[in-house]
Amino acid sequence: IAYGNGRFVAVGGDSRAILSSLDGGTWSSTPLPTDDDLVDVAYGEHGFIAVGSSNNAGAVLYSADGVTWMPQASSVTNGLAAVVYGNSQFVAVGGEGVILTSPDGLTWTHRTSGTTNSIDHIAYGNGRFVAMARQWNGIDYDYTLLTSTDGTNWSEHAPPELQGDINYSAITYGNGQFVIVYGIYMPTISWGLASPDGFAWRPTGPGGGGIHGVAFGNNTFVAVGDFGTIRQSGPFVTLGL
């Protein structure tokens, strides 16, 4: 879900539609112009961008108002998993290390990420992009982090906390810090990490709940997960995972 220009826009699921709302209470559905599976949406200076996959290729849709959508050429054969706006550009990431950038949501450029692992998540803050790439280790996943200040040149590093049997993860930025939530099943345990720069990370506490998502708004972090789990923190992360 994303908000911009006075409108909420949500994507995902099997409905082949995009939902939009002016107040968050009443929603209208717009059928997709293409047969795409969309998984993420972001708002930037020029409008909304939704990303996903279509026939095993990257799908990109653009909308100036969140209602009328136009497919754009991604020129990649891997599905896209996430998109964010920062530093006056959209950055989309996806399978086999795909990174695309666009200043306006219409013209996209393929960037070299330095990895062939799938990139699942991306956040922007404090002048920096931080993306999460996963690698199968034979049981579950290890994660590395890709960082960039310009969206073009990327460096990769592997925080030790993200190595070993991770089943799910998410990342966001708020109040001067990046926050990652991640965890495992059997038993269900979640952890959190916080960093001001995407390089030096501190733990925010383990716990249960299967936390899959995290966001910042109204001066608070909110994390959500399995079985209706919701965890809330103040402007400085504790989250009480």
Spatial distance between the Cα atoms of 204 and 191, rounded to a whole number of angstroms: 7
Burial class (CB in 10 A: 0-12, 13-18, 19+), 138: exposed
What pTM does this model have? 0.92
Quick one: pLDDT at residue 241?
A: 47
Close Cβ partners of 24 (under 8 Å, ≥ 6 residues apart): 8
Q: Which is more confidently placed, 237 or 96?
A: 96
Taking only the tens place, the pLDDT of each residue in 173-208 is 999 999 999 988 877 788 899 999 999 999 986 456
